[in-house]
Structure 1
Amino acid sequence: MGSSGLVKKTNGYLGVTEPISWSGPSEVDVLKTQELEKFLSDAGLYESQEEAVSREEVLGRLDQIVKVWIKNVSRARGFSEQFVQEANAKIFTFGSYRLGVHGPGADIDTLCVGPKHATREEDFFVELHNMLAEMPEVSELHPVPDAHVPVMGFKFNGVSIDLLYARLSLWVIPEDLDISVDSILQNADEQTVRSLNGCRVTDQILRLVPNIQSFRTTLRCMRLWAKRRGIYSNVAGFLGGINWALLVARICQLYPNALPSMLVSRFFRVFTQWRWPNPVMLCNIEEGSLGLPVWDPRRNPRDRHHQMPIITPAYPCMNSSYNVSSSTLRVMTEEFKRGHEVCEAMEVNKADWNTLCEPYPFFEAYKNYLEIDIAAENEDDLRKWKGWVESRLRTLTLKIERDTFGMLQCHPHPGDFCDKTKLFQCSYFMGLQRKQGVPSHEGEQFDIRATVEEFKLTVGMYTLWKTGMVIQVHHIKRRNVPLFVFPGGVRPSRPAKPAAADGQPPAKTKSQSLAQAGKVGVAALSNGDKTAVIMDESINRMALVTDPSGSVQVPEGSEKHIPPVPACGTFSDKEAEHLAMKPVDGLAESGTGLSEAAIESKKRKLEAVQSDCSPIDSKRLAVELKETEHMAVKSPEAVANASSKEDEALAIKKITNGSPTNPASLPEEIDELEDYNMQVPAQKFEAGLNSNSVELSAVKEIAIAGTIHNDDKSIIGIEELEPMELSAISSSAPASASNTQRKPLIRISLSSSVKATGKTA
């Protein structure tokens, strides 16, 4: 599958549908792909040969270590010396390293496969841990045995390793073990199934793409684009590495002979039109013979809540992206549209790869933000506290969506920012705006004070705390965003906007928007979206203290201005039709085609007339120009190209508008997945606005008892949180509208702090 030759059109194909196009690359595609590869190289995405050799040596050394470890374990269990010599353990890789898209300094996701007599709790996390701790090559050793996917993180000769363990129901692990067969899961516990899933999915992806090299280059580009545009983080509710790999693999299936430059363009073209929650699948979903649950929205109510299903191709097939919320889906959908527009501009040489991957100006995009500040007493405590808080931040987005019935949208920044003047502190940010396209009501308010208090209560349930761990939540406006989030600590100046005749800012054209995007207020979105999470389990009881605070009322704003009504006036359809009947400046009235030069001449005249803001000529020339363009002389090549684009558009529409055509794609036949709309009707939201809000006490002391385990898996990029944990009804309804306000408000009381004290009230 990894050959560079063209894939021939046959009755067989990879994927659940036929490809959209079997066409091979053009000369332009070859040139643009070369430009893309140079762009990726200049961006520093490829490791040096020296680093590649170092990684291979580390993996070889690690494989030797686990083989010695399993022999020691077997000997300690009292097995015969012959059995001890036959005992074996084996190292596998997965993730970006296995896919071949890792960059310099990236972690290596590894899996240790051991026999049935080597336990996870005693042998892996105790015996192997102790062996590694005694080695001078090993540093920063951090076991996380209670994680959803138990992991041991460390550095070996400077190379970061995340090591998982899978305990198979075999007495001896063969050196040629094939973990892709489903029987490997027989009698395996849940942790082993989850641990094996990473390797099995990665290997299956490589089997299901028609050209591995094109897949890798395309995936490198999409990962860079997603990081710079701020949508690379499954912990924050966006997509992580495995999700982007699955999406790119699907595009490779739909265009099996395309080069990376075209695959990137088609990625945006397809997913701009995709009708979520229709799932993205690389192969049919099979139930298997082991009875493990698979993704199926007809049988599993939880699966119906998923906003953006991206299904893993290995048994048991699961949704890899159930962390996505309606707010983060909105952000990604808008980014897909922007990417599609930039790629269209690239086709006519009006944009380049730098334009596509310009960093998203997060701190210029919204008028209102939430700032979440955390602190600890030392670096190690801060790292642990960060891991816990990051694993809970996504729930704040879900809670706000729930309590405002989807009317207040959130845009979480996937990274964290540190004020260098303050030790052991960092901050997170979230943009806020009213749902676009929904009419606002006079005096409408969004009171999310109780929502934020509930979130802080959830964060306060972290039982592995240490003294000094604090979280504070503030509401800030754009002009008050702290300077440490900007490069160099300098707030960029905002260019003055020329006013239109009505005094409102003029609407931007698409080309102007593309040229300006990412050039003002750029945040370093590519950093800090993956954090190792290590927790101390010595404490399981704490007290939550909320400091006094007052409410803050600010006008709620959106990120975009509504385009103003043109000052030159408007005309009815009949007037426009009447004006269009009159020839202008020798415009041919016959049905003959016009040259491109004639069309350009008409365009220049139209622009000249519009610059003088003449309503009659502007409207008339606009109508006649449209007719003129239809009469343009088209070459046979242009006609064929247009026909090909129409066929492609129809094929994309067929694939994106419904479920896979193969009825076997799900365990049982299903004609089309319903668009499960989980949003509460707007009428209920409006009714909720009239209810009374619950005032929060100035000081709360809440004693929290019980054991809450840390389930954060950001180390290995596997999601755990499910929206169902937010199904409980909020303790307060949105605040009633204030008749004295003219604009919708966000009422927030967010300056309180939470401290983990370890004492019961």
Structure 2
Amino acid sequence: MGSNGFGISEPISTGGPTELDVIQNGELEKFLADAGLYESNVEAIKREEVLGRLDQIVKTWVKSISRVKGFNDQLVQEANAKIFTFGSYRLGVHGPGADIDTLCVGPNHATRKEDFFGELHRMLAEMPEVGELHPVAGAHVPVMKFKFDGVSIDLLYANVAAFVIPEDLDISKESILHAVDEITVRSLNGCRVTDQVLHLVPNIQSFRTALRYMRLWAKRRGVYSNVTGFLGGINWALLVARICQLYPNALPSMLVSRFFRVYNLWRWPNPVLLCPIQEGSLGLPLWDPRRNFRDRQHLMPIITPAYPCMNSSYNVSTSTLHVMMEEFKRGYEICEEIEANKASWGTVCEPFAFFEAYKNYLQIDIAAENEDDMMNWKGWVESRIRMLTLKIERDTNGVLQCHPYPGEFSDKSRLFRHSYFMGLRRREGANPQDGEQFDMRMTVEDFKQDVYHYLDWKATMLIYVNHVKKKNIPIFVFPGGVRPSPPPRVRGSNCQIQKSPISSSGEIGAAVERRKRRHEETNSGVNQLESSFSSYSSDTSSFADTKTSKGHELNVAGTLCNANAPENTSISRHDVNESINQPETAETYRNGISTPENVVVEQFQEPIGRNVIAPQAVDDLGEELELKNEFRPFSGLTQANGTRSPIAAEEVEKTSQNGICGNGFDFLQNGSREELEPHELTAETPNVTLFVAPSKPMIRLSFTSLRKTS
């Protein structure tokens, strides 16, 4: 460990700010204030009052259940529970209206299922100040969501191996994890990691300001979403914390600039670590690619500092990593302009024009019957969208990359319906073949089977996946429902720089000198990091010898190098199936239950978000999607016993009768979208009943025009 007591290496630079750095930092702080990222004193006081009230509620709750369970008066009086906070609120980077991540720690006799999601839920439901109460008991980390006096609360529960919870309980100690179940470990992990991050950064205030900016940047650039395959709040906090360790005396503006410079050069899957990985004494599983096959598949490991150390970014895929690396590069280039006084901090955070970036998109439409069903269905579908990205990467051998948009869109005229979008493009550097096509139908059917495996699925919960071109994106995704005019074509860089007030030649010269010095610092930091990690790596020598299945070395050192994301980090079918645990086809559609297609024909006769096509819309040159009247074998439509699945049979019948896509939504007739439907079975297969496929258009991705769309 470095002499500064932080991280696993010496800092790259301990230099302090120059006069120009102070000026730029003032501009950054003004930008954050103007962006409305700080809550008012009134709101801050209200949050504290709500947390105090919630703490009193859980104390009353645990005494009540202790009495019901037969404890005497003295034990009931001693019974206690305590509220902790974590996430953005605990880090001090939350904004107005943000929810508060909270954890209730209770005694071992207060159970999660019967007492927390039972009695405490009943108590909260009866309180007039509590609204929008929504328990999610089946989540990976079970949570109770609600609003308390208008403040959004996410409440987790951990029942530790203690009869009495002291008011001065220290959950950062390893002993708190003794004799608890895995869900309790995961529930405690948020608080433990947050506290450890604050302990490991050299300057908390600089860390907070830099993190506020990076969170705003990530949200505006569309890379803030753990569930979609990008990074969530804790991931960005860990990345910023590592930069704080590498530049302990830097101002927030300097930290932001170094953030882009360092991670633009970072060669993943080298992990980001704030401290050495501790083995611990409880034998809990740790992130360890030496022993764990799945850990070797992680593309962007960002390791939590609290025991048990885990990879917080396991959701990242090849496609989403590539998108983030492009954003790091863009941020680095604009920060170079800022240091030369030719751009502003607002330029870095300009919103990403997602619906102008690609020519081809997938549109994922979901519908439900009521608000409660939609809330449950929406949460499940969002958790599976990243699987569609993995499946597309798998089935195209990594050639086709996806850019999922983090968040949903809704047509206000249609209740209980949401749409998600995913941009499609060919991976840079891939060698295309003339007329090469990607058949998406089998991939989409595989994804839909996975989604319909939802344990609480109802026949009114629907999902459809469609191809839509840029010019036909539905207008409800645009602000005000107005489709923007196509931007004029400009040769050269498409990065528009917003210039700051003209500075003197002396300031420009000083800026150039600072840029040169910082480049030298970063380059020298490469060798410094590598050498400082040598002793640590010697204790874990097998890390350096471990190869991923993609042929990339896993070096715990977390070094920097002059390389971007690896080009050939594709995921094999075996790897995806290993991590997804896909259900059997026959089980997926629930034999004997009315299929979603039947329901949608009866209840929803119009497509979700019918497109309004802009007249004479201008198409960018890029990937082409072609319709082909062609059918090929698709085993995904057969059940384990060799017969067709109910969905397949009914789709064929309705398609031939109605001339539509077999879902009741007239996607093909409006000429703007084409649903990605599965192949119908035509090949001779032993023990399989054959049938004649109807003449239904089929979607194929064809890359005959290869110029990249900006």
1:513 maps to 495
1:402 alignment partner in structure 2? 394
Please tell me whether residue 663 in structure 1 is matched to residue 602 in structure 2: no
- C-alpha spacing 1:328/1:516, structure 2 compared with 1 (3 Å): farther
Deviations 1:574-612 (A, max 9, x none): xxxxxxxxxxxxxxxxxxxxxxx9xx9xxxxxxxxxxxx
State which of 517, 520, 524 in structure 2 corresponds to 1:651: 524
- Is the counterpart of residue 303 in structure 1 residue 295 in structure 2? yes
Code of the residue aligned with 1:311 in structure 2: it is I
Matched, 1:134 2:134: no
Contact residue 366 and residue 431 of structure 1 kept, 8 A: yes
- Do residues 262 (structure 1) and 207 (structure 2) align? no
The offset of 1:463, in angstroms, is: 2.7
CA distance in 2, matches of 1:641, 1:418: 48
Counterpart secondary structure, 1:457: helix
Cα separation, 2, equivalents of 1:134 and 1:197: 30
Equivalent runs, 1:82-481 vs 2, <5 Å: 82-481=74-473
Question: Do the aligned residues in 2 keep the contact of 1:445 with 1:744 (CA within 8 Å)?
Answer: no
Question: Gaps (5+ residues) in structure 1?
Answer: 1-8, 499-505, 518-596, 601-633, 686-691, 704-730, 746-761
Q: Do the aligned partners of residues 69 and 668 (structure 1) sit closer, same or farther apart at CA in structure 2, a change above 3 Å counting?
A: farther
What residue in structure 2 maps to residue 612 of structure 1? Answer: none
Q: 1:480-499 maps to which residues of 2 (within 5 A)?
A: 480-497=472-489
Q: Does 1:743 align with 2:704?
A: yes
Residue type of the alignment partner of 1:259: L
The separation in 2 between residues aligned to 1:295 and 1:220, in whole angstroms, is 28
CA distance in structure 2 between the partners assigned to 1:493 and 1:258 by the alignment: 43
Per-residue deviation, residues 485-514 of structure 1 (Å, max 9, x unmatched): 11111111123336xxxxxxx4x13xx523
Q: Provide closer, same or farther for how the CA distance between residues 491 and 118 of structure 1 changes in structure 2, counting only shifts above 3 A.
A: same
Q: CA deviation at 1:103?
A: 0.8
Query: Which amino acid in the other structure matches residue 488 of structure 1?
Result: G
Task: Tell me by how many angstroms 1:11 deviates.
Answer: 3.0
Q: 2: distance between equivalents of 1:494 and 1:10?
A: 53
Q: In the alignment, is the contact (CA less than 8 A) between 2:409 and 2:476 conserved in 1? A: yes
RMSD: 3.3
Q: TM-score, normalised by structure 1?
A: 0.71
Greater Cα offset, 333-342 or 62-71: 62-71
Aligned-pair CA distance for 1:330: 0.2
CA distance in 1, matches of 2:463, 2:227: 18
Go from structure 1 to structure 2 and tell me whether the alpha carbon gap of 1:30 and 1:701 turns closer, same or farther (over 3 Å shift).
same
**CA 1:410–1:643 in 2, change beyond 3 Å: closer, same or farther?**
closer
Q: Give the match's secondary structure for 1:513.
A: coil
| Bigger RCO (CA 8 Å, 6+ sep) | 1
Letter in 2 for 1:284: P
| Distance verdict in 2 for CA 1:320–1:124, change over 3 Å | same
Q: CA deviation at 1:672?
A: 6.7
Structure 2, unaligned stretches of length 5 or more?
A: 552-566, 574-630, 639-643, 649-680, 684-698
Counterpart residue type for residue 633 of structure 2 = V
Q: Does 1:701 align with 2:701?
A: no
Aligned CA distance change for structure 1 residues 171 and 468 (closer, same or farther; 3 Å): same
Identity fraction in percent: 65
**How far apart are 1:82 and its partner, in Å?**
1.3
Q: Distance in 2 between matches of 1:497 and 1:640?
A: 35
Instruction: State the SS of the aligned residue for 2:646.
Output: strand
> Could you tell me which residue of structure 2 aligns to residue 54 of structure 1?
46
Q: How far off is 1:515 after superposition?
A: 3.7
- The AA in structure 1 aligned to 2:325 is T
Amino acid in the other structure paired with 1:183: S
Which consecutive aligned stretches of 4+ in structure 1 deviate over 3 angstroms post-superposition?
A: 514-517, 637-647, 654-662, 664-676, 678-682, 695-700
Q: Is the 8 A contact 2:331 2:348 kept in 1?
A: yes
User: Residue type of the partner of 1:701?
Assistant: P
Shift of 1:450: 0.2
Cα distance, 1:133 vs. partner?
1.4
SS for the counterpart of 1:55 is helix
Contact 1:376/1:382 (8 A) holds in 2? yes
Residue 649 of structure 1, CA deviation? 2.7
Cα distance per residue 1:685-723 (max 9 Å; x no partner): 9xxxxxx952587995249xxxxxxxxxxxxxxxxxxxx
Tell me if structure 2 keeps the 8 A contact 1:280–1:309: yes
Task: Identify if the C-alpha distance between structure 1 residues 646 and 431 changes in structure 2 by more than 3 Å, giving closer, same or farther.
Answer: closer
| Between 202-211 and 23-32, the greater mean CA deviation after superposition | 23-32
How many matched pairs? 576
TM-score by length of 2: 0.76
Cα distance in 1 between the residues matched to 2:540 and 2:703 = 54
- 1:99-144 CA distance string (max 9 Å, x none): 0011111111111111111111111111111111111111111112
Question: Matched residue of 1:514: which SS?
Answer: coil
AA aligned to 1:366 is Y
Name the CA shift for 1:105/1:640 in 2 (closer, same or farther; >3 Å).
closer
Q: Is the 8 A contact 2:9 2:532 kept in 1?
A: no
- 8 Å CA contact 2:437–2:703 kept in 1: the answer is no
Could you tell me how far apart the structure 2 residues matched to 1:701 and 1:448 are?
21
Q: C-alpha offsets along residues 640-697 of structure 1, whole Å, 9 cap, x if unaligned? A: 8577335413234336779944416976674476465279899x99xxxxxx952587
Q: Which moved more, 1:185-194 or 1:375-384?
A: 375-384
Q: Is the 8 A contact 1:101 1:216 kept in 2?
A: yes
DSSP 3-state at the match of 1:299:
coil
C-alpha separation between the residues in 2 aligned to 1:680 and 1:732?
34
- Range with bigger deviation, 175-184 or 467-476: 467-476
How do residues 515-530 of structure 1 correspond to structure 2 at under 5 angstroms?
A: 515=497
After superposition, residues 622-633 of structure 1 pair within 5 angstroms as: none
Looking at structure 1, the residues matched to 113 and 136 of structure 2 have their Cα atoms a distance apart, in angstroms, of 11
The one-letter amino acid of 2:357's match is A
In 1: Cα distance, 2:424 partner to 2:682 partner: 20
Q: Which 10-residue stretch deviates more, 257-266 or 36-45?
A: 36-45
